[in-house]
Structure 1
């Protein structure tokens, strides 16, 4: 019988050391690591903000057991499908390892533990992005950098560095803190490879490097905090071990911030009643309305295109805003869903990769003349298609969602008004990173947005998916399942010795969307057997349905029954080629049609401004000399920024990259950094 254990704490450093030494492992039967990269961003954000992430539960079994290591495989490419080795330990070996090495099994929390390990070892690239000085609230700006907490200075966690903000890769920070490297070595190995300091003057580089090293130190303190991870350690016999896993899947009910908003609005707008009324006005099987989508859309409108985050919503929105915009936004919401289905972007709302993408589309309608998709021109339609698929395949909505929503709403607002954007970097943010069919083969996580995106894209490429028993077009919100083309059990029974094939059982290239009832009837037969059965009994034209799902029709003749890997590779190539032809090749065309080079004269003066400490400050930029004329004196671009900051804050040495501080208005009233002039002049010199 096990003794009751109190909750204890440990540091992330201690967790990492024990994983590396093999003292923390998983039971062999634990489910695979399934978190997409966005979950890791959220996890580290919670750790920085001291938000409870749940306890890790360890077990010390008093019986023999087979274990496996934490998943250290890359997400795609070479080694991504390698088999994770297992080890068997006798009861005596476990007892010895527990006494000597604090050996334990992760019973609950393996997704969190694995995400932490992968980020700090660089298996997954995770960057912490630091706010620029002007983005900090006044109270934080008044502090020295060394006195600021990570929570006070963090902008977001992301999968790539931000060229406009100081970025530190977590694995670099972890490695630096474990190494004996001197500062000049760290500067060469890590800091000088960053995009952000490029173009800084020497004194600015020193200042930014100090912040880089300060951030490394803060991360080290975070990882070394003994109170960061909480855990329970259970000594368990076989019966209790099984009972724990049987009962550990129960879920509690969580309150959403919208529930708090509903209570706030109740005096003049019953949000719960209105969403129920909206849902009941349509057949429940036809539409599903997410109240958070409606609320964030209203927030964007009320804030004049600036805010959709919960703090703004809870602080600034009131019932008059909802009485004014609720009905209108709900009508747009339905129109967006109708458009996405009619144009084959989605088959079912439940299979939509990123529900938040509905918000920019609602704003597009709000701005579009006539407020109906039928009124958009072909170029607008072209942009919507490119933006939709590129955003999904680039996983644009996996992190920094509020900022992404605002930026996309603003871009689509301009497109609705037939205006181009002068922000060329935007097109890099939605650039699809796929390079070939291997990227398709790497998609095995059912919940990931790209996995869902591929299945939806097949529907788009085929202009609507057909069912298999009768070749009828699948209807909106059909009860769909991601059917295994090669049945799971068939692969396990016929390819048990082929690790490569087994690792690809759940690959998206072996999946397609079908109604649940069709899927049930297929069972575990060989593909040619169940397909021929459908052909003879139900649908003589089954080949048309297979082509429609981008499935090689040779599957029907049994040519692939014994060549599963060849099948998934062939289909993966076909899917990638379709994405390439319908989306990737249009990158240059979309850039040409929707990007407008900022008008940057090579001579003369330009009125510029900057915002700092919630104040606006103005100056003049001399394009010929690249000098800032501020309060009657001439400064370099960055020195002028430092002087302006000093005047507004009363603090000296507030250095920054002046090219990303001073802004100007383009001819189309877009706000741009004067960095455009530097780039333009560099190009013409």
Structure 2
């Protein structure tokens, strides 16, 4: 990278370079938000000879996705191989200048139009007053001239104004046209440096996201590749599957893992542009097949229940290399991997490093071998009772919720399947979550909150039951009502892993018995999904440490 070079340019030079497509607004710049009044104040400063700050351009022959040019006007693309000056600092000022001095009609994001030809010179204003204005309601028409007419009007128009204004008109026009705009040009810098410069000088202090940088870096005009548009296409495809909450960062990590078996930020930033574009469609296909597998085989109906978004990454890697659904040992080993990560707090910290380790385990599964693990899983009922405090931020809790929905829980009153939605599952007080022993009922018995809000006390029901029918009644009371109208209530409750109404302490409202009996059932369900290894017999200290780390992250 060469040292930045200072330049000055006149307005006509800047306008020429904008109109021929040499100056562009990169995608990672924010939208143009200046009002016409603020733009008028900028022109006022120029007329008075005040400094308006320095523009910083990044000169490169790379082609980035740019915002619809300056002011969203349809301006030409530069010829292949030609340099482009991308605006790193000064987008609001430059767009204001161009719009104001060219009389542009700008369409805002909300559809509102601003006509920048309606910015005027007040020929009666003194130098100490605002000379360039937008509010002309109380002004004499003959004492006003638009900026556009000042710069582009012919001699006859200027001569039509009273003689007393001619000297001012001449001076103001000359000041605008001869004003030297200060520019610093950054040359021969990679996009990572350019975006870092942008981040540091951005007055809002808001750092660019990795996705914004990669969207700029991977844009290819000839290949019609726009990462932002491609990601939105993926999200639209996932909406009918209720997996639209997958993040853009996760998608980048999938591509990186496939290309390099790593997904740290610095690795993603160094990915080859052409390799990224070439692999995109296959990577997206692997994500979609992972989602289908989560939905169909593990019966996880919505992405909010997925214990970690990060699980999409190793599974996408698997399906990238394995074109069919896994069967026999591979299916079993992959299931073991899923639940070990979900139940252990695996991706609560150091996610990128752990993913790099786990891709090696996926390679073993692809080869038909059972991986070894350096963390254990305790499937015992006692462990579930001791570590089941309810928080939807905990992967352990989400994993058990996934086991609950696997059994397709039915409505207590009519045995219909409960609808589970991403919208309802955003918060711990979701409409889908019901405390089988209601909180108000248990608080009267002086139970601690963490013991009341326990995953073993949670059932997944619909809003009608949760809010209107059950409320704060003791289980023996509200379940008696359901027993009277649902003659197959025993079968219904088995879909909630409540296997026996008589032995689960329901009729005598025994919370301790209920937790103990349900813990046994959940323990059995977890055990079905885990392939026991030697490490699982040696103790659970590392698992407890992971839980503590996860709880710290939540707090």
Q: What TM-score, normalized to structure 2?
A: 0.52
Aligned counterparts of 2:248 and 2:285: Cα–Cα separation in 1? 13
Match 1:407 to one of 353, 357, 360: 357
Does residue 1:440 correspond to 2:385, yes or no?
yes
**8 Å CA contact retained: 1:298, 1:321:** no
Kept in 1: contact 2:210–2:249 (CA 8 A): no
Matching of residues 254-403 of structure 1 within 5 Å: 256-268=209-221, 269-281=225-237, 283=239, 286-288=242-244, 289-303=246-260, 305=261, 307-314=262-269, 316-368=270-322, 371-373=323-325, 376-403=326-353
Secondary structure (helix, strand or coil) at the match of 1:313 reads helix
Q: In structure 2, which of residues 396, 400, 405 is the aligned counterpart of residue 454 of structure 1?
A: 400
Equivalent residue runs for 1:98-177 within 5 Å: none
Q: Does 1:484 align with 2:429?
A: no
Task: Give the drift of 1:279.
Answer: 2.1
The structural deviation recorded for 1:345 is 4.7
Deviations for 1:139-168, whole angstroms, at most 9, x for unmatched residues? xxxxxxxxxxxxxxxxxxxxxxxxxxxxxx
- Indicate how the Cα distance of structure 1 residues 297 and 584 shifts in structure 2: closer, same or farther if over 3 A, else same: closer
Measured after TM superposition, the shift of residue 511 of structure 1 is 0.7
Post-superposition offset of 1:485: 0.7
CA-to-partner distance for each residue in 1:526-551, whole Å, 9 max, x for gaps?
A: 223223333434x3222212112112
* Kept in 2: contact 1:393–1:432 (CA 8 A): yes
Q: Give the total of aligned pairs.
A: 320
Over 3 Å counting, the alpha-carbon distance change for 1:472 and 1:331 in structure 2 is: farther
Give the secondary-structure state (helix, strand or coil) at the position aligned to 2:409.
Answer: coil
Task: Give the Cα–Cα distance (whole angstroms) in 2 for the partners of residues 531 and 576 of structure 1.
Answer: 25
- How far apart, in 2, do the equivalents of 1:274 and 1:310 lie? 20
SS of the residue aligned with 1:483? strand
Once the two structures are TM-superposed, the CA of residue 512 in structure 1 deviates from its matched residue by 2.1
Confirm or deny: 8 A CA contact 2:335 2:530 kept in the other structure: no
Give the conservation status (yes or no) of the 8 Å contact 1:436–1:573. yes
Assess, with a 3 A threshold, how the Cα gap between structure 1 residues 419 and 488 changes in structure 2: closer, same or farther: closer
Contact 1:437 1:576 (8 Å CA) reproduced: no
Q: Is residue 560–residue 566 contact of structure 1 (8 Å, CA) maintained in 2?
A: no
Does the CA contact (< 8 Å) of 2:411 and 2:417 recur in 1? yes
How is 1:519-534 mapped onto 2 (pairs within 5 angstroms)? Answer: 519-521=466-468, 522-534=470-482
> 1:435 Cα deviation (Å)?
4.5
1:418 match = 368
User: Any gaps of 5 or more consecutive residues in structure 1?
Assistant: 1-251, 592-685
Q: Report how far residue 415 of structure 1 moved.
A: 1.8
Q: CA deviation at 1:503?
A: 4.2
Measured after TM superposition, the shift of residue 513 of structure 1 is 2.5
Q: What displacement does 1:364 show?
A: 1.0
Match of 2:176 in 1: none
Q: CA deviation at 1:296?
A: 0.8
Query: How far apart, in 2, do the equivalents of 1:513 and 1:415 lie?
Result: 33
Give the TM-score normalised by the residue count of structure 1. Answer: 0.43
Question: Offset at 1:381?
Answer: 0.7
Q: Whole-Å Cα distance in 1 between the matches of residues 304 and 206 of structure 2?
A: 21
RMSD of Structure 2 on Structure 1 (CA): 3.1
Distance in 2, matches of 1:516 and 1:280, equals 27
Residues 1:564 and 2:515 are matched in the alignment: no
Could you report, residue by residue, the CA deviation over 1:74-97 in whole angstroms, capped at 9, with x for unpaired residues?
A: xxxxxxxxxxxxxxxxxxxxxxxx
Does 1:546 find its partner at 2:523? no
Q: Specify whether residues 449 and 283 from structure 1 end up closer, same or farther in structure 2 by C-alpha distance, changes over 3 A only.
A: closer
How many angstroms apart in 2 are the aligned matches of 1:378 and 1:473? 30
Q: Give the Cα–Cα distance (whole angstroms) in 1 for the partners of residues 471 and 493 of structure 2.
A: 18
Counterpart CA distance in 1 for 2:264 and 2:534 is: 33
Q: Deviation per CA, 1:472-521, whole angstroms, max 9, x where unpaired?
A: 444674645332111112222x31xx345x54110111012233444223
Q: Displacement, 1:254?
A: 8.1
Greater Rg over alpha carbons, structure = 2
Partner of 1:465: 409
Give 2:532's aligned residue: 586
Question: Which deviations, in whole Å up to 9, do the C-alpha atoms of 1:598-624 show, x marking residues without a partner?
Answer: xxxxxxxxxxxxxxxxxxxxxxxxxxx
Deviations 1:408-447 (A, max 9, x none): 22221332233566xxxx4233x20454424334321412
Is 544-553 or 349-358 further displaced after alignment? 544-553
Find the aligned partners of 1:555 and 1:355 in 2 and give their Cα distance: 39
Q: Whole-Å Cα distance in 1 between the matches of residues 466 and 206 of structure 2?
A: 32
Deviation at 1:290, TM superposition (A): 2.6
Deviation at 1:271, TM superposition (A): 1.8
Distance 1:276 1:443, change over 3 A: same
Unpaired segments ≥5 residues, structure 2: 1-204, 426-431, 538-555
Task: From the superposition, tell whether residues 544 and 344 of structure 1 become closer, same or farther in structure 2 (CA, over 3 Å).
Answer: farther
